[in-house]
Structure 1
Amino acid sequence: MLDKEEQLLKKRISELAEHCYQRDIRSYTDFLTLNEQTIFHSMKRTLPPVTWLMNGGYETAERKIVCFLPSYEDETADLPISILKAVPASPRFSQDLTHRDYLGAIMNLGIERNCIGDILMNENGCFIFCMEKMAGFLADELKMVRHTPVVCCPVTQAEEVAPNFETVSGSVASPRLDSVVALVFKTSRSKALPYIEGEKVFIDGRLCISPGQQLKGGEIVSVRGLGKFLYTGALNETKKGRLFVSAEKYR
Structure 2
Amino acid sequence: MSVYQHFRKDEHAFVDQVMEWKETAIEQYRSKLTDFLDPRQQYIVQSLVGQNDEVAVSFYGGYKEAERKRCLIYPHYVEPVTEDYDIALYELLYPTKFVQIEHREILGALMNVGLKREKFGDILNSAERFQIVLAKEVAEFVSWNLKSVGKARVSLQVVPIEESISVTKEYSYLHITASSLRLDTIVAEVYKLSRSKVKPMIENGYIKVNWKVIEDPSFSLQIKDVLSVRGKGRCEIVSNEGQTKKNKFRLSVAFPK
- In the superposition, the TM-score normalised over structure 1's length comes to 0.66
- How many Å separate the matches in 1 of 2:70 and 2:162? 17
The change in CA–CA distance for 1:193 and 1:45 in structure 2 (over 3 A counts) is farther
Change (3 A) 1:207 1:190: closer
Q: Which residue is equivalent to 1:16?
A: 21
For the residue of structure 2 that corresponds to 1:91, the secondary structure is coil
Which runs of 5 or more residues in structure 1 are unaligned? Answer: 169-174, 179-188, 215-220, 223-227, 230-248
Cα separation, partners in 2 of 1:137 and 1:198, compared to 1, 3 Å: same
Aligned residue runs from structure 1 range 32-111, under 5 A? 32-44=37-49, 49-70=54-75, 73-78=78-83, 79-88=85-94, 90-94=95-99, 96-111=100-115
**Distance change in 2, residues 1:18/1:201 (3 Å):** closer
**1:129-148 equivalences in 2 (<5 Å):** 129-148=133-152
Offset from partner CA, 1:109-142 (integer Å, 9 cap, x none): 1011111111112212311112111111112211
- Any residues of structure 2 matched to 1:107-186 within 5 Å, and which? 107-163=111-167, 177-178=175-176
Identity %: 24
Q: Distance in 1 between matches of 2:171 and 2:141?
A: 37
CA distance in 2, matches of 1:19, 1:47: 14
Tell me the C-alpha RMSD between the 2 structures.
3.5
SS at match of 1:97: coil
Aligned residues: 200
User: How big is the shift at 1:199?
Assistant: 3.6
Q: What is the deviation of 1:58?
A: 1.1
1-side partners of 2:191 and 2:115: how far apart?
34
Alpha carbons 1:18, 1:48 under 8 Å: kept: no
Cα distance in structure 1, aligned partners of 2:60 and 2:161: 17
Q: TM-score, normalised by structure 2?
A: 0.64
Q: What runs of 5+ residues in structure 2 fail to find an aligned partner?
A: 1-6, 177-187, 194-206, 208-218, 227-235, 242-248
